[in-house]
């Protein structure tokens, strides 16, 4: 992800580079937040067209 790039554009770029259906990376982005794998400030609205911010990735061990 380039600094200052939007969430939507970053996800679209991932889809394109990995040969995924458009929207797959954005769905994963939302899934990781919902599953609390990525921590975000839930007091701020997450809008895909806004610039991406730093995310803290929590390591969850697989059982």
Q: CA-to-CA distance for 39 and 58, rounded, in angstroms?
A: 7
Q: What is the pLDDT of residue 54?
A: 60
From 45, 22, 18, select the one nearest 33 (Cα to Cα).
Answer: 45
Two structure tokens written together for 50: 């806004």
pLDDT tens digits, one per residue of 9-49: 889 999 999 999 999 999 998 898 888 877 777 787 777 88
- Tell whether the model's pLDDT for residue 58 goes beyond 70: no
Is residue 12 a contact partner of residue 54, using CB atoms and an 8 Å limit? no
Two tokens, residue 15: 């889809």
Q: What is this structure's pTM?
A: 0.70
DSSP 16-54: HHHTPPTTHHHHHHHHHHHTTSEE--TTS---TTSBP--
């Amino acid at each position: 992800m380039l600094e200052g790039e939007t969430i939507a554009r970053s996800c679209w770029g991932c889809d394109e580079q990995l040969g995924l259906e458009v929207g797959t990376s954005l769905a994963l982005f939302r899934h990781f937040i919902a599953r609390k794998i990525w921590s975000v400030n839930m007091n701020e609205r997450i809008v895909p067209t806004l610039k991406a911010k730093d995310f803290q990735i929590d390591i969850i061990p697989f059982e």
